[in-house]
Amino acid sequence: MRKRHHQTRMIWTAALTLSAAFFGCAVENLPEPALFDVCLNSETPCINQAYAGERTNIVLIGEHFNPAFNVDVNDDNPPPLCGSFQASIADKPIEDVRRLSENLLSGTLPGTVPLGSHDVIAKFPGGRRAGLNQAFSIVDPLVVTASPQHPRAPQGHAFGLDVTLQNLGAALLTQITLGLSQEGPGQITLPADSVVASLGGGSSSTTTLQLQAQQPGSATLLLEVSALAGGNVLVGTPEPLAIDMLVLPPAVLAVSGEVSPTTVDPGDDFELIVDVYNSGGVDALEVEALEAGVSGSGSATLDAPTPSPLSIPAGSRRTIRFSGQALSRGTVIFDVRVVGREAISQRLLGPVDAEPVSIEIR
């Protein structure tokens, strides 16, 4: 029986390649461990990133992930394990680290790792270590897009900025804060910072921020968004999102009229000519002349103006013509008014009066 016990001790000693003959952790002749990859799973290609705030399984891939044993040559029992397998990322412990094979360790990525590419350190029984620089990345799950309802807005016009938030990750986003600032000569009235309560994993939402065009000129809106992923990791726009805007001078109609010819006989035809000028920076739409007022000692008839209604681009002029016929002698006075709508804002323009014009019927 003594010989059998002696053989058992020799087998354990050979298997662990010990150089020590006393109680201790058997690592002296084990090959050095090496770390090659840190991935979401052991399949190829290696996915070496995760979204912020997520607790997910990862594997550490390498070689010589050997256990070590506490050995007492005077003890016939199988030696117990010496120490445990541990790992960390960005100095934060990876949870539940387990040895799967000589080449694989598994663990749970904590949901507290900040954004960026991080070093991973593996610690092995017996005090050995292996590391890999920038082995695993934590990426931002928040995608932000912004679209103004009117990138060219007339002065005084209120409009919305639609901000769409998309959460690509699995962790809940909370304390989502949207803040706006601006640059440039144009001025836009901005709202106070807006807060969205939360955004679930894999979902999206749209928030409309209310703005008002204030001072003509170009303006750049700067949108910053921040949130907490999984309640721990700060995420958001790394740089403000720039939205180019242009505040336009409002549409303004100016009206003048004339009669041609200015002197006629009863029964003669004539024209009442109305010029409409848009002196603003926004198009005027649906511009039309209202029914002209006719007064004076003489009399005349007017037909409906053609064409009507008109669109008048910014800085442009259009002409409205009435056909008329003289009826009885005397002076006939015409009062003309026009109305329209401002493009984009749909603001009512007018009525705008022209200076009265007259015709003499001999």
Pairing of strands 152-154, 241-248: parallel
Q: Please report the pLDDT score of residue 81 as a whole number.
A: 66
Q: Which fold has domain 253-361?
A: Immunoglobulin-like (2.60.40)
| Whether 329 contacts 304, CB under 8 Å | no
Parse the chain into domains and list their residue ranges.
Answer: 2-139, 142-248, 253-361
Give the residue ranges of the chain where pLDDT is below 70: 1-29, 69-81
Q: Please report the pLDDT score of residue 77 as a whole number.
A: 65
Q: Please report the pLDDT score of residue 99 as a whole number.
A: 94
Would you tell me which CATH number, out of the four given (3.40.190.10, 3.40.50.720, 1.10.357.10, 2.60.40.10), belongs to the domain 2-139? Answer: 2.60.40.10
Same fold, 2-139 and 142-248: yes
Check if CATH label 3.40.1160.10 holds for domain 142-248. no
Q: What is the pTM of this model?
A: 0.80
Q: Please report the pLDDT score of residue 11 as a whole number.
A: 35
